[in-house]
């Protein structure tokens, strides 16, 4: 990118500490090596939270933690496959080095174009979130305050047609259902909500940005463009925060209004 050229892949990171976060409180973000997970980890750090950045990609998680350290924040990189119960347990034990975890962002999951047995991918996408949450409450249930699951407008507000594997909209609808169940199962302690991103400019999407079909999709969005990871992160941080203390069990679309057309 040349000097003076705007970065059209990213939006600004906002300091959301005024929403009631106490400096140093801990959030775990799964899938924190890139995309929405990384933006959420950086936004949390900018808002004063300590961050445990979990990812199957250990070097990517470490890069996110290093970026947070460069911002003056506190972070721990944890290499973890959230489809493996043993690795989830180990990750929670490692995370306790930063103290008890008050907030959780369940973001990790298979890409929308993943190929494999439908049932296996569905279990990976939805079952891993339930497994991470269950272990969180076992380790940190006395302080657990709120969590956000990352769903999608796919499977909830639109079908996505031929652009993704069949498991993906089914899984994202399942995550929305799981969120509503968790919100009532735990009696609001912790609060549980979900964010449903529209098409967002992540590393998975960037190679397709110049394709006519993608440009056509962007033109259909009422705000005139695709979403930035940082915009999804802002929605996540709001729902996590004490400022959202009476919001429990919602699926919040963050899609520029495309599903309202």
Residues acting as catalytic residues:
168
What is the helix (H) or strand (E) element at residue 65, kind and residue range? Answer: helix 58-70
Give the residue among 16, 71, 13 at the shortest CA–CA distance from 229. 13
- Chain-centre distance of CA 7, in angstroms? 22
Q: Across the strands, what pairs with 105?
A: 29, 148
DSSP codes of every residue in 209-235: TTSHHHHHHHHHSTTSSPBPHHHHHHH
Chain position carrying tokens 């449903």: 196
What does the alpha-carbon distance between residue 232 and residue 42 come to, in Å, rounded to a whole number?
12
- CA torsion sign, 151 to 153 to 159 to 165? negative
Is residue 82 a contact partner of residue 132, using CB atoms and an 8 Å limit?
Answer: yes
Helix (H, G, I), strand (E, B) or coil at 39: helix
């Amino acid at each position: 990118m040349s000097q003076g050229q705007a970065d059209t892949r990213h939006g600004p990171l906002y300091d959301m500490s005024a929403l009631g976060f106490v400096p140093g409180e801990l959030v775990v973000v799964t899938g924190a090596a890139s995309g929405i997970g990384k933006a959420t980890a950086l936004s949390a750090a900018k808002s004063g939270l300590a961050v445990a950045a979990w990812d199957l990609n250990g070097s990517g998680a470490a890069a996110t933690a290093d970026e947070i350290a460069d911002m003056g924040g506190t972070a721990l990189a944890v290499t973890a496959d959230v489809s493996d119960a043993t690795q989830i347990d180990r990750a929670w034990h490692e995370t306790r080095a930063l103290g008890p975890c008050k907030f959780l962002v369940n973001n990790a999951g298979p890409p929308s174009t993943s190929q494999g047995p439908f049932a296996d991918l569905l279990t990976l996408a939805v079952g891993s979130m339930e497994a991470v949450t269950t272990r969180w409450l076992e380790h940190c249930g006395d302080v657990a305050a709120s969590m956000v699951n990352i769903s999608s407008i796919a499977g909830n507000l639109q079908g996505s047609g031929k652009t993704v594997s069949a498991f993906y909209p089914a899984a994202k609808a399942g995550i929305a259902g799981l969120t509503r169940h968790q919100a009532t199962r735990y009696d609001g302690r912790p609060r549980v909500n979900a964010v449903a991103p529209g098409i967002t400019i992540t590393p998975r999407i960037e190679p397709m940005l110049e394709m006519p079909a993608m440009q056509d999709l962007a033109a259909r969005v009422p705000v005139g463009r695709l979403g930035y990871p940082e915009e999804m992160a802002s929605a996540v941080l709001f729902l996590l925060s004490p400022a959202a203390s009476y919001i429990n069990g919602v699926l919040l679309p963050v899609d520029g209004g495309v599903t309202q057309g």
